[in-house]
A and B are shown apart, each in its own frame.
Chain A
Amino acid sequence: MGTAPAQLFPEFIVDTLGLDSVIGEVAASLVAAFVVGNIILAFTGVAGPWAKRKITAAFTDRIAVDRIGPYGLLIIPAAAVQLLAKELIIPEGVDRPSWDIAPILLPASALLGFSVIPMGQLGPINLHLADPEVGFALVFAFASIASVSLVMAGYASNNKYSLLGGLRAVAQNLAYEIPLIVTAMSVVIFSGTLQMSGVVGAQTETLVTIAGVSIPSWYAFVNPFAFVLFLTANMAEIGRNPFDIPEAPTEIVAGYQTEYSSAYFVLFYLGEFVHIFLGGAILAVTFLGGASGPGPESIGFIWFVVKIWGFFLFTQWARAALPRVRIDQLIEIGWKGMLVLSFANLVLTAVIVGVIA
């Protein structure tokens, strides 16, 4: 391992099909983006109507969807039809077009994030759309657009619960995004690059070898403290328990989503799931060695999928087990706790890297 990064997916298409013109490259990029986007949407399709229900049911001691199809899997098309067939109710006094843009913005921002995520190889194909030098900064930038969408939805809905949800979303994202990014920067200090392939590549070296098993230098092993910090901030970033404050159905009735129905609701729901997967992907790339794992590099994508689904499982576990913190407590944890810790981590990492390397 530790070889030069494989050819990016669009370039692979260009080379394989011999499309040398500009139009060909554009077409290849679009095709590649289409494929990657659909992989993520397929995950969401499985996660939303089926996996989430199954997982929650397992945690809460009951039986979930098992009537339609094998293991209840046909609930996926059934739910899709049901959700899309519902009436789209547009409340009086909503502020259009921002009310309409918000539900599109949320999944779009999350999907955009996947453009720079190296998702590993599947056979000869390297599922990685782009690898700009600032990829690492880009992915956080994309992910942050989500809060704009939440505020838009909250403000435009002409509903007080939505407004509260929107405001909570901003407050929460401010409080958590800074520690999240500062913690991620400590990884950049290790790897010395903002390029995604570089960050992943730096984690392939062997850290220690115990009884013949070599442990790779995933940053989760190198700096477990930063990993925990990042994981916590990530939960707040994607708004899952114990930080599902912007939605908080028992308090503010699903917050910014309150007034959305039918396709718009699906888009929000979808956006949230894509966001969870993006959160998992960022976590995997930053701390869990990206697509690396035992076996040949050509099955890397499978490891990547395992990692992001593992993160998904973790969010559902937290959802079943953990109480929700209060908004003021969350702000306090964010600004007074996490921010300090993340800066301490950053400084410490910088010192260690500076002294050792």
Chain B
Amino acid sequence: MSLERPDTVDDGAVEQTPDELEALLGDLVVDRDDHLNAPGFVIRPDTVQETLRTLKQEAGYDHLSVVSAQEYENRYESIYHLKKYDDPTQEVSIVVPADKDDPVSESAEPVFRTADWHEREAYDLIGIEYDDHPDLRRILLPETWQGHPLSMDYDKDRPQIATLPEHANPLEDHHKDAESDTMFLNIGPHHPATHGVLHLKTVLDGEQVADVEPDIGYLHRSEEQMAQSGTYRHQIMPYPDRWDYISAGLLNEWAYARAAEDLADIEVPEYAQVIRTMGAEMCRIAAHMLALATFALDINGDFTATFMYAINDRERVQNLLEDLTGQRLMFNYFRLGGVVWDLPEPREEFFSKTRDFLDQLPESVEEYHNLITSNEVFQMRTIDTGILPPEVAKNYGATGPVARGSGVDYDLRRDDPYGYYDELDWDVVTEDGCDNFSRLLVRMREVEESAKIIEQCVDLLEDWPEDERNIQANVPRTLRPDDDTEIYRAVEGAKGELGIYIRADGTDKPARFKIRSPCFSNLQTLPEMANGEYIPDVIAALGSLDVVLGEVDR
């Protein structure tokens, strides 16, 4: 059966009870602070590396999903949400309080490379300093920014104007070197291949890339802050559509829905779950089609037919999504406890349109294989370029098609089931090539798997008895989850693990709302793939990562 996990048992799959973990960590644990999703251990801020290393090496917690940081009345706090790639239902949270007056905490970067960016973000937005961090700078906000916007004493009314002299040309002092053989090149923030506003600080040695450093934050819109000022029940749901805006909206909405529903203990009717599953997979097809289209653009050049073909196919899914949700991009279709409305009437028409699309899809996929993946030049360009070994991918917290293209068998739809996925028959796609080609192939094959899921959902929905079509659970008008409950929940977005951390404080708005963006972690792997390769390979690697800057910067 496709949904069974491989039965090879290694250390990673052995489940430890919270008490066993506490025994393993021994003196490191100062206190317990359990979250709804995982046991939580409070440790001293100078034992972060030791704790995480113990958990990684001796208990198999090899996936640092996210670092969420926040400020309390009396302390700062960083939480390291750990999981296992083999079984993401095994979670543990490491809570690291830091001093209110001098918030310093040890960096986890030497243990998990992915902590690099996550801790920089925590420093940038909250103001916690991480000791032993290799490069603690602001990441989302400009270098000249004053204050930390998510900290408690931040003055929101203070104008932040970076004057021109403060934004001096970074090339002037340290990049210009008469002796040097290398050339510094800014790729972006406005460049045809950065798929948005991404800035790659590249050091070139001839045509080869000596070093590349992604510079993000150009599309930062304070999404976390906005979610923190909205009410759980209604005001947050429209925002997720704006994270990964490549029509992956329903997948994002589900991330918030899942976290909030688990937080407030809401049971979603089965019928609504089937509709959600179907809609989410339509979004996945649309997102992967665009990834395919833009990747072809990067490899083939800007007049490639593949781009328009893929856009045409995406258009057909978009039409279906428009019929379902009434919107083409910013769907706002999910509600806590269900969806906003039932399938469009007449239902038969919607079903037959969906089936038409599914019938035609294999032909399109075949055409893409003809056009690009079986083209020798294309293979020459993408095979064995942008290599990301599985261990490196895990170390950087890569998820989604990027991880699966490196042979990491990790898909939350199967490993941490939600919605209706565990009732359906489909497969998780992995490829072992670890290169640009594999990542593309994973997406193309996932489109076919998504089509299988949609087909089964349509079958189910067609036969659903009319009087059991319950699209919405009973949810109180105002949700006030208990004070000091915390939860981290993730779903499989189009780009990977899209997670939400919420801390409730007894009011109808979250006290802390942290988004774990898969693109944010995936983009961090770019230097690993690109260093030593040619410029076109960097572009290809970036394209194969399929980042959406709206989700990276939030």
Contacts and interface: CB of A to CB of B under 8 A. Distances in A.
Nearest to A55: B303
B534 A61 contact: no
A326 B303 contact: no
Contacts of A164: 207, 535
Contact of A249 (B185, B301, B312, B381): B301
Most-contacted residue by chain B among A61, A252, A324, A326 (CB, 10 A)? A326
Query: 10 closest Cβ contacts across the A-B interface?
Result: A60-B308, A320-B305, A323-B378, A250-B193, A60-B305, A323-B300, A323-B377, A319-B303, A323-B299, A326-B536
Contact of B302 (A160, A249, A326): A249
A241 B301 contact: yes
B309 interface: yes
Contacts of A322: 300, 375, 377
Interface in A223-251: 241-242, 244, 248-251
A325 B301 contact: no
B310 to A, nearest CB: 11
Contacts of A39: none
A56 interface: yes
B297 interface: yes
Interface string B289-317: 00000001111111111011100100000
Interface string B311-332: 0100000000000000000000
Contacts of B537: 326
A205 interface: no
Most-contacted residue by chain A among B193, B304, B381, B534 (CB, 10 A)? B304
Contact of A61 (B183, B309, B377): B309
B131 to A, nearest CB: 38
Most-contacted residue by chain B among A251, A252, A329 (CB, 10 A)? A251
A273 B377 CA distance: 25
Contacts of B301: 241, 244, 248-250, 319, 323-324
Interface of B: 183, 185, 191-193, 207, 296-305, 307-309, 312, 371-372, 375, 377-378, 380-381, 534-537, 539
A62 B310 CA distance: 12
Contacts of B377: 242, 322-325
Interface of A: 56, 59-62, 160-161, 164, 168, 241-242, 244, 248-253, 316, 319-329
B183 A321 contact: no
A244 B299 CA distance: 11
B303 A328 contact: no
Contacts of B372: 323
A251 B207 CA distance: 11
A328 B296 CA distance: 20
B185 A325 contact: no
B300 A241 contact: yes
Given A60-B309, A250-B539, A326 B534 contact: yes
B536 A253 contact: no
A320 B312 contact: no
Contacts of A61: 305, 308-309, 312
Contact of B305 (A248, A252, A321): A321
Contacts of A316: 303
B305 A327 contact: no
Contacts of B305: 59-61, 320-321
A159 to B, nearest CB: 10
A59 B303 CA distance: 9
A163 B3 CA distance: 53
Contacts of A161: 185
Nearest to A319: B303
13 contacts: A61-B305, A164-B207, A168-B207, A241-B300, A241-B303, A249-B301, A251-B535, A319-B304, A320-B305, A321-B371, A322-B375, A323-B375, A327-B536
A326 B193 contact: no
B295 to A, nearest CB: 10
A178 B461 CA distance: 66
B208 to A, nearest CB: 9
A56 B308 CA distance: 11
A248 B301 CA distance: 7
Given A323-B299, A327-B534, A328-B207, A249 B308 contact: no
